[in-house]
Structure 1
Amino acid sequence: MKQTIDVPIPKYPWTYIPSPLMFTFDEEEKQWIKEDYAFMGPESVKRYINQNIVKVSPYMGPTTTNADLLRPVCRFLLYETYFDDYVEIMPLEEVRVLRDRAFEVMTGDSVGPNEIGMFRQMEQARKEWVTNGMPQFWIERMANSFWEFVTYGIMEETHFKLTQTYPTLSRYLLIRSRSIGQLAYVDMIDPAIGYALPEHIHKHPAIQRVLFLQSILIGIQNDFASIRKEMATENENFNIILLLHHTHHLSFEEALARAMKIHDDFVVELEEISQCLPNFGDYQKEAENYVYHTKLMVTCLNEWYYKSGTKRYTPEGFATPKYGIQGEKKLDFEIKHIRQEN
């Protein structure tokens, strides 16, 4: 009989709100996958339909009640996720080509008939945001965030995945804050609530620190949720628990405890900043609402992992990248996720 290892589920002092749009986009997601992501191969298409990825957007934006506002956000969530999957261990020169073309489409270029369907989703999302009144400065912010997600996140992870090595903890936190995609996806707060935070507010150091903190929290949160899949999958070692286990010479249980302590310290910092924001003058309420939604994203995504029924984090549920095969390794133990006591 296999040993069972209990893996704690992160907890937060912030609220969880169920979305009224939880099932609104299920059929549209299937259509988008079949029509615009077929280039990733029939096996990936089959697996994606069972991942409930589209529900991430309602979970993370539960205050949005207008489906037209959330639809392009759902498109973004899917193409950001599938882009990451597709370029797994891809040669960096090929990643750069895809990254730069994505930026062009996101900022205004039209997509040709022979280009991959992912770019059609990017173009359609941009058109819907324009229709919904999102300003050009936000379009450019969103596109730049995606470019940085690829450049400073995905592309910097690649070396460690290919060599099966680990960075230092501090370097890991920098890369992971980008590669999880949240510093790009957090831009989706604006179109979901129908208001673009002004640039001078968005660039303020306090807001930028809030964005880093919520991003790395979501990165570590993902590391806990996906730990079994990553332990059983080749080229999936970029996980704070595995890093601490292998480079800090901790037992697996000790690595879990250390990773959660790092996570919880970031929770405290985010809450302390949010309780003492600068004076933003006429934009105070908007800034406070924006920070509120960053915390809501953290709490609500945490529930998606364990309530949505997603099969993404089972080894057989992960999509096949263009390069390499993510074969399953046999584990001599089982993982059980458990809720922590308050």
Structure 2
Amino acid sequence: MKEELQIPIPKYPWAYIPSPLMFAFDEIEKQWIEEDYAYLGPESMRRYINQNLVKVSAYMSPTTSNPDMLKPICRFLLYETYFDDYVEIMPLEEIEALRDRVFEVMTGESVRPDEIGIFRQMEQARKEWIANGMPQFWIERMAKSFWEFITYGIMEESRFKISKTYPTLARFLLIRSRSIGQIAYGNMIDPAVGFALPEDIYQHPAIQRVLFLHAIIIAIQNDFASIRKEMASESDNFNIILLFHHTEHLSFEESLAKAMKLHDDFVTELEEISQCLPDFGAYQKEAENYVYHTKLMVTCLNEWYYISGTKRYEPEGFITPKYGVQGEKPLDFEVKYIRQD
């Protein structure tokens, strides 16, 4: 019998709210995969269909009851995730070319017939957001955040994945807060609630700190949920638990405890900021609602990992990127996730 490795599940002082649209996009997700993601290959397509990824958007936007508002958010979630998987260990010059084309399509250019289907999803999402009343300044903000997700997240992370080395903790947190894609995905709060936060409020240091905190909390949350997969992966070592284990020579149990302590400290800071926001004048309620939804995203995504039935972090969840083979190393232990009291 294999040894059992117990992994604690993060916990939060914020509520989990089930979405009324939990199953609204299951069938259309399969259609999108078949029509626009065939370039990923038949095996990756099959595995994606079993990952329940489209439900992430419903989990993370549980107050949204209008399917038309949630639909482009679902598109965004899928193309952000698929993009990240596709470009793993891709040469940086190729990622740059894709990044720049993504920005053009997201901000208004039409997709050419010969381009891969992910661009059609981006173009259609943009059109749907505009039809739903999202302003151009938000479209540009969202596209810029995605550009930064690729540039300061994926591309910086790739350097360490390719070299199989680890950064310092401070550098890790900077990169991981971007590479998880959550600062970019945080822009989905605006269409989910039907209001685009004005640029001056969005750029306020308090809101920017909230966005960093909710992103890095989700990144560490993800590192706990995906630890088995990453320990078995040939290339994906960018995980805070593995960082502590390898760079500080801690035991695995000590690494888990240190990562959770850091996570909990960030949770405390986010809660403290949310309880003492600046005066945003006429937009105070909107700013408070925005911050409230950053916390909802944290709590509700945490539940998706453990109750949605996703196969993303199991052996059959490995996706083959464009370059290299995403293989699995055998592990001599089983992983069991434990809810904390």
Question: What are the residue-to-residue correspondences of 1:75-154 with 2, within 5 Å?
Answer: 75-154=75-154
Q: Give the distance between the partners of 2:318 and 2:75, measured in 1 at CA.
A: 19
**Structure 1 counterpart of 2:240:** 240
Q: Is the 8 A contact 2:60 2:300 kept in 1?
A: yes
Q: Is the 8 A contact 1:217 1:263 kept in 2?
A: yes
Question: What are the residue-to-residue correspondences of 1:1-342 with 2, within 5 Å?
Answer: 1-341=1-341
Task: Give CA deviations for 1:91-132 in whole Å, capped at 9, x if unaligned.
Answer: 000000110000000000000111000000000000000000
Q: Percent identity, aligned pairs only?
A: 79
Q: Give the distance between the partners of 1:337 and 1:160, measured in 2 at CA.
A: 28
Task: Give CA deviations for 1:9-31 in whole Å, capped at 9, x if unaligned.
Answer: 00000000000000000000000
The one-letter code of the counterpart of 1:308 is: S
Task: Give CA deviations for 1:27-59 in whole Å, capped at 9, x if unaligned.
Answer: 000000010000011111010000000000000
Task: Report the 3-state secondary structure (helix = DSSP H, G, I; strand = E; otherwise coil) of the residue aligned with 2:7.
Answer: strand
Q: Give the distance between the partners of 1:103 and 1:263, measured in 2 at CA.
A: 32
Q: Give the distance between the partners of 2:25 and 2:193, measured in 1 at CA.
A: 18
Q: CA deviation at 1:205?
A: 0.1
Task: Give CA deviations for 1:259-295 in whole Å, capped at 9, x if unaligned.
Answer: 0000000000000000000000100000000000000
Q: CA deviation at 1:314?
A: 1.1
Number of residue pairs aligned between Structure 1 and Structure 2: 341
Query: What stretches of structure 1 of length at least 5 have no aligned partner?
Result: none
Task: Give CA deviations for 1:139-196 in whole Å, capped at 9, x if unaligned.
Answer: 0000000000000000000111011110011100000000000000000000111100
Task: Report the 3-state secondary structure (helix = DSSP H, G, I; strand = E; otherwise coil) of the residue aligned with 2:71.
Answer: helix
Q: Is the 8 A contact 2:241 2:256 kept in 1?
A: yes
Q: Give the distance between the partners of 1:307 and 1:333, measured in 2 at CA.
A: 22
Q: CA deviation at 1:296?
A: 0.2
Q: Give the distance between the partners of 1:100 and 1:55, measured in 2 at CA.
A: 28
Q: CA deviation at 1:317?
A: 1.2
Task: Report the 3-state secondary structure (helix = DSSP H, G, I; strand = E; otherwise coil) of the residue aligned with 1:228.
Answer: helix
Q: Give the distance between the partners of 1:305 and 1:122, measured in 2 at CA.
A: 25
Task: Give CA deviations for 1:302-321 in whole Å, capped at 9, x if unaligned.
Answer: 00000110000113212110
Q: Give the distance between the partners of 1:281 and 1:193, measured in 2 at CA.
A: 19
The one-letter code of the counterpart of 2:186 is: V
Q: Give the distance between the partners of 1:315 and 1:222, measured in 2 at CA.
A: 16
Q: Give the distance between the partners of 2:318 and 2:38, measured in 1 at CA.
A: 16
Q: Is the 8 A contact 1:5 1:333 kept in 2?
A: yes
TM-score scaled by length of structure 2: 1.00
Task: Give CA deviations for 1:51-83 in whole Å, capped at 9, x if unaligned.
Answer: 000000000000000000000000000000000
TM-score scaled by length of structure 1: 0.99
CA RMSD of aligned residues (A): 0.5
Q: CA deviation at 1:250?
A: 0.4
Task: Give CA deviations for 1:227-253 in whole Å, capped at 9, x if unaligned.
Answer: 000000111100000000010110000
Q: Is the 8 A contact 2:318 2:327 kept in 1?
A: no
The one-letter code of the counterpart of 1:174 is: L
